[in-house]
Amino acid sequence: MTITANKKRCPRCRQHRDPSWFSRDYCRPDGRACWCKVCSRRAYRERSWGIPQAEFDKLIDLQGGGCAICRTLLEAAGTYPWTRMDRTEDGRIRGAVCRECKAGLVGFRSDPRRLAAAIAYLA
Ligand SMILES: [Zn+2]
Ligand SMILES: [Zn+2]
């Protein structure tokens, strides 16, 4: 069996990816969603936030391909689909961050004073 035999093809981006790149969907015969996570995420971004893929790609590019905070490369397998948008209170896009950093920001309510206090606490 070749390696490609284990891959699932996404009809949207036409890429053959490891099944882990597809969300679980038990309603489907192979137990995986039709579109890969990258495409699902892209559609979600466009639909929910009105961010076209070109704009998103440009943003990631400006950040050197990594999370705006920890610099983890967002293209790396398994992390790219989970890229989160960080926004200011008035809805402006501040940057793209990885899932962990986004969770951190949410936890600290994006409050610089709170984050500074946490740094002092850790030190
Ligand atoms: Zn795809
Ligand atoms: Zn990060």
21 in any annotated domain = yes
Question: Do 27 and 85 belong to one domain?
Answer: no
Number of compact structural domains in the chain:
2
Torsion sign over Cα 116, 117, 119, 123: positive
Last residue within a domain, chosen from 50, 69, 85: 50
What's the CA gap between 7 and 17, in Å, rounded? 5
Q: Which ligand has the nearest atom to the CA of 70?
A: 2
* pTM higher than the cut 0.75: no
What's the CA gap between 115 and 121, in Å, rounded? 10
| Interval between CA 106 and ligand 1 midpoint (Å) | 28
Tokens of 67: 């999370």
Tens digits of per-residue pLDDT, 69-118? 999 888 665 556 678 889 988 888 899 999 899 999 999 999 999 999 99
| Interval between CA 58 and ligand 1 midpoint (Å) | 19
| Interval between CA 83 and ligand 2 midpoint (Å) | 9
Enumerate helices (H) and strands (E) in the chain, giving the number of each.
4, 4
Residues with CB under 5 A from ligand 1 (ion): 10, 12-13, 36, 39
Report the CATH number at residue 102: 3.40.1800.10
1 in any annotated domain = no
Question: Do 23 and 67 belong to one domain?
Answer: no
Q: Which ligand has the nearest atom to the CA of 99?
A: 2
Tens digits of per-residue pLDDT, 39-65? 888 888 888 878 888 888 899 899 999
Q: State which residues form the domain around 73.
A: 52-123
